Structure 1
């Protein structure tokens, strides 16, 4: 079998080119803020798109402060949920204890439209405040293009 230089070069170039993929959020109830910051920074650095196609609650919403807004969109199934940050229940004997410092950190990441919605809805509290698909959500993030 004879392998020519040009096909080999093309194969090497394709293998070296990073794959681009979209992140589809469908059922994300949040988690550790530091993990979400790192995840979204990687997505931002790779210039990937984020499609919110379901639940994006709690730390998941950090996407709006880390990934450029022109790389984030929502489908008709999207919903967002915001609440105050709280300490890991493993260290508070299972009791939800809010963190003023953590909440302030969360708020520092959010762009103006998110902060405005939170303010109009009474600020962050320990209870989840949700936005469902529609005009309120579209004031924060654009709907996904029709080709989705």
Structure 2
């Protein structure tokens, strides 16, 4: 009896080239360009990966809440979120912080109701950073991670 090795080899090849799932652990993210974060989080969402916020997630980093499904995002006790109005790259505004009202509106359009509710209760998006640290306010937005993620 002859056995074909082709099915076995094809299975092994499929395993070796299959993309590995990986969690994104955010520990010190101060934000950046909104469009880059949108693309990054869309890739994570499409790959059905999980996001663990285990430290600072400020500015454009917070777009995670509007792009990655909330059941794929959690926070550890070290998590903190920071929100502010969008502004143009200072390299193009001679070092001055110039608010982008269009960009701010775009951010708000992505945020889910729990984020919008917290922002509304705390004066909305302003030029100054508004922070949420571990506790009830944060847990109203996103679930705490299981202990194995700490």
What is the aligned partner in structure 1 of residue 116 from structure 2?
115
Cα distance in 1 for partners of 2:148, 2:35 equals 33
Which stretches in structure 2 are left out of the alignment for 5+ residues? Answer: none
What is the aligned partner in structure 2 of residue 76 from structure 1?
77
3-state DSSP of counterpart to 1:87: coil
What is the aligned partner in structure 1 of residue 55 from structure 2?
54
TM-score normalized with structure 2 length:
0.94
3-state DSSP of counterpart to 2:147: coil
Cα distance in 2 for partners of 1:112, 1:145 equals 23
What is the aligned partner in structure 1 of residue 95 from structure 2?
94
What is the aligned partner in structure 2 of residue 12 from structure 1?
13
Cα distance in 1 for partners of 2:7, 2:67 equals 40
Is 1:64 aligned to 2:85, yes or no? no
3-state DSSP of counterpart to 1:55: strand
Structure 1 runs (4+) deviating above 3 angstroms are: 4-7
Cα distance in 1 for partners of 2:122, 2:147 equals 30
Is 1:34 aligned to 2:38, yes or no? no
Cα deviation, residue 107, structure 1: 0.2
3-state DSSP of counterpart to 1:40: helix
Q: CA RMSD in A?
A: 1.3
Cα distance in 1 for partners of 2:94, 2:18 equals 48
Cα distance in 2 for partners of 1:71, 1:20 equals 13
Task: State the number of aligned residues.
Answer: 146
TM-score normalized with structure 1 length:
0.95
Cα deviation, residue 18, structure 1: 1.5
The CA deviation string for residues 27-77 of structure 1, in whole angstroms up to 9 with x for no partner, is 000000000000000000000000000000000000000000000000000
